């Protein structure tokens, strides 16, 4: 298993950019996040802004994204609420999502730009991540 990463260095970006264009096969959104305990306010499903996400890619890569926030674009606030985040990601995935771009955000955090067949996009800003491989999809995958 790979090491947990927190900053998108030039070396990591070179490795991650190979995932650009990779279709998303399935996604799992967890109801808890690695960052929950570091937040000032208690987290409920309704006020949740950060989630942990497993992205299963068609090339058998799996990205485990921790403390991820999801937004429609860089001008929008992140989506709030576990149900809203999950539904947005599920619809995006069902409409043929792929990793369009790997970028660095504030403090060199990993940012994924997902696009789909409907020309819709989502930004996923990630606090920490690791890359792994998958053989079978979990039952809870969307």
Mean pLDDT per 10-residue segment, the chain (142 residues): 84 91 94 86 90 95 96 92 95 94 92 93 95 87 74
Helix, strand, coil share of the chain (percent; to 5): 20, 35, 45
What pLDDT does 66 receive? 96
- DSSP letter at 72 equals S
- DSSP letter at 74 equals T
Partner residues linked to 110 by β-bridges: 104, 126
What pLDDT does 50 receive? 95
Helix, coil or strand: residue 9: coil
- HSE-CB for 7 with a 13 A CA cutoff: 6
Domain boundaries, the chain: 10-133
Q: Which is nearest to 132 in space by CA: 24, 29, 30, 4?
A: 4
What pLDDT does 25 receive? 93
């Amino acid at each position: 298993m790979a090491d947990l990463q927190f900053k998108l260095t030039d070396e990591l970006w070179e490795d991650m950019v190979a995932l650009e264009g990779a279709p998303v096969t399935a996604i799992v959104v967890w109801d808890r996040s690695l960052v929950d305990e570091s937040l000032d306010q208690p987290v409920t499903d309704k006020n949740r802004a950060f989630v942990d996400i497993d992205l299963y890619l068609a090339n058998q890569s799996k990205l485990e994204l921790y403390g991820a926030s999801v937004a429609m674009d860089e001008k929008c606030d992140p989506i709030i609420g576990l149900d809203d985040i999950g539904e947005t990601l599920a619809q995006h995935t069902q409409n043929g999502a792929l990793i369009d771009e790997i970028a660095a955000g504030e403090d060199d955090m990993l940012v994924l730009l997902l696009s789909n067949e409907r020309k819709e996009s989502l930004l996923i800003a990630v606090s920490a991540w690791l890359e792994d491989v998958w053989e079978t999809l979990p039952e809870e995958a969307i």
